[in-house]
Amino acid sequence: MATLDTSRPAAAELFAGLSLRTWKLVGLAAVLVAACILPFVISSYQLLLATQVIVYAVALLGLNILTGYNGQFSLGHGAFYAIGAYTTAILLDKTGIPYWATIPAAGMICLVMGFLFGLPALRLEGHYLALATFALAFAMPQLLKFKDFDFLTGGVQGIVITAPDPPAGLPIRADQWLYFFCLLWTVLLFLLGWNLLRGRTGRALVAIRDHPLAAATMGIDTARYKSFTFGVSAMYTGIAGALGALLAQFVSPDSFDLFLSIRFLVGIVVGGLASMGGVFFGAIFIEFVPNIADQLSKAAPQALYGGVLIACMYVMPSGVAGLVRGIGLRLKRWTAAGPP
C-alpha cells in the first residue's frame, strides 16, 4: 500500500499561470483572512450566528468522517454533541477548571464514549446501525433528565454557565473572543481531519466503506478502524458540543433531542458526503434556513428539512460540494478545450 502513487495529476495542471494546488491554497488563505476580519465588521447577533455555524461545521465534520468516509451510519450524533456540551457545563459548574481546558476533556470523554458505542456497532450494518443510533438519540434527553443524575446535570432545568472573558490585554469583546476561540479549534480540528483522511488511514476508511470484504482481504483491520472512527467522530462532535455550550451559555436536556441528530444528518447530506469543505455549506444550511422558514409556520422548518433530504437524494446525492466540484470540472474541461 505504501507504494501507491497518490500524488495528484492535478498538480501539473495550470490555470492562469498557477497550478490548481496553489490556487486552492490561495483561496483557503483568503477565506481564513476573511474569517478573521469578520467579527469586526458584523453585528454581535450576526457574530453569534457565525460562531454557531463554525461550531456546527466541526460537528458535521465529525459525522461526515463516520458516515461520508467510513460509510457507518449515525442518527444519534446529537447524543455525543450533548455529552460534550454537558461535560463542559458540569466541569465549569462544579470544578474550578478554566474554560479552555474543558474542551479537550469533553473531546476525550466523547472519544471514549464513541469508541465504546462503536464496539457493538461493529456488528451492525446499514439499517441496523441507523436503528441503534436512532434509539440512542431518542434516549439521550431522558438520560439527562434522570433524577439520580440531577446533582450533576441539573435535571430539567439544565445548567447555566458564564461566557469566558477574553484574555487580559486583548482589546476585543467577549463574543469576539469566543468566536476566535471556536475558530482556532475549528482550524485545528480541520487540519487534524485533513491529515487523518489524506493518508493511509483515510484510504483505509474509504476502502472499508466501498468494499469491506476487499478491505479486510487487503489486511485492513476493519474492526479496529471502524470503532476507532466511531470514537474520533464522536470526539469531533463532542468538542463541537462543548464549544456550543460555551456559546449558548446554557445546556438543557431538551435542546439535544432526536431532531438535533437529524439536523446533523441533513447538514452532511446537503453539504456533501465525504467532503471536508462541504460541511460548511451544511452548517450554513442548518443554521440559517430553519430560522428563515420558521417565520412561515411552525411546521415549515421540519417540512423543509424533510423535503430537502429527499430532494437531495433524488437530484444531488453528492450535496453542494459535489455540485461545486461538478461545475469546477466542467470549467476545467472548457478551459482545456479552449473557448469556442
Partner 1 sequence: MQALLHQVLSGLANGGIYASVALALVMIYQSTHHVNFAQGEMATFSTYIAWQMINLGLPYWVAFLLTLVFAFVMGVAIERIIVRPFYKAPALSVVAVFIGLLLVINSLSGAIFDYTIKPFPSPFPTDAWYGSPYLSSHEVGMIFVTLVVLALVFAFFRFTPLGLAMRAAAENPVSSRLVGVRVGWMLALGWGLAGLIGAVAGMMTAPIVYLDPYMMFSVLLYGFAGALLGGIDNAWGAVLGGFIVGVLQNLAGAYLVGTELMVTVALVIIVGILVIKPAGLFGRTIVTRV
The residue ranges that bind partner 1 (CB under 8 A) are 67, 71, 73, 75, 120, 123-128, 130-132, 134-136, 138-139, 142-143, 145-147, 213, 258, 262, 265, 269, 273, 297-300, 302-303, 305-310, 312-314, 317
CB atoms within 10 A of CB 104: 14
- Report, in Å, the least distance between residue 144 CB and partner 1: 11
Question: In terms of CB distance, is 136 or 284 closer to partner 1?
Answer: 136
User: Rg of the chain over CA atoms, in angstroms?
Assistant: 21
Question: In terms of CB distance, is 147 or 333 closer to partner 1?
Answer: 147
Asked if residue 99 lies in contact with residue 243, where contact means CB atoms within 8 angstroms, the answer is no
Q: At what angle do helices 126-145 and 258-271 cross, to 10 degrees?
A: 140
Question: In terms of CB distance, is 190 or 281 closer to partner 1?
Answer: 281
- Report, in Å, the least distance between residue 169 CB and partner 1: 48
Q: H/E element holding 250?
A: strand 250-251
- DSSP annotation of 19 reads E
Question: What is the C-alpha to C-alpha distance for residues 308 and 59, in angstroms, rounded to an integer?
Answer: 20
Cβ within 8 Å of residue 247, ≥6 positions away: 48, 51, 52, 55, 178, 182
Asked if residue 283 lies in contact with residue 327, where contact means CB atoms within 8 angstroms, the answer is no
Question: In terms of CB distance, is 50 or 215 closer to partner 1?
Answer: 215
Question: In terms of CB distance, is 130 or 235 closer to partner 1?
Answer: 130
- Report, in Å, the least distance between residue 138 CB and partner 1: 5
- Report, in Å, the least distance between residue 91 CB and partner 1: 24
Question: In terms of CB distance, is 150 or 165 closer to partner 1?
Answer: 150
- Report, in Å, the least distance between residue 68 CB and partner 1: 9
> Cell for 69?
468516509
Question: In terms of CB distance, is 206 or 300 closer to partner 1?
Answer: 300
- Report, in Å, the least distance between residue 251 CB and partner 1: 19
Q: What is the DSSP string of 179-196?
A: HHHHHHHHHHHHHHHHHH
Question: What is the C-alpha to C-alpha distance for residues 111 and 20, in angstroms, rounded to an integer?
Answer: 36
- Report, in Å, the least distance between residue 131 CB and partner 1: 6
Q: What is the DSSP string of 301-328?
A: HHHHHHHHHHHHHHH-TTHHHHHHHHHH
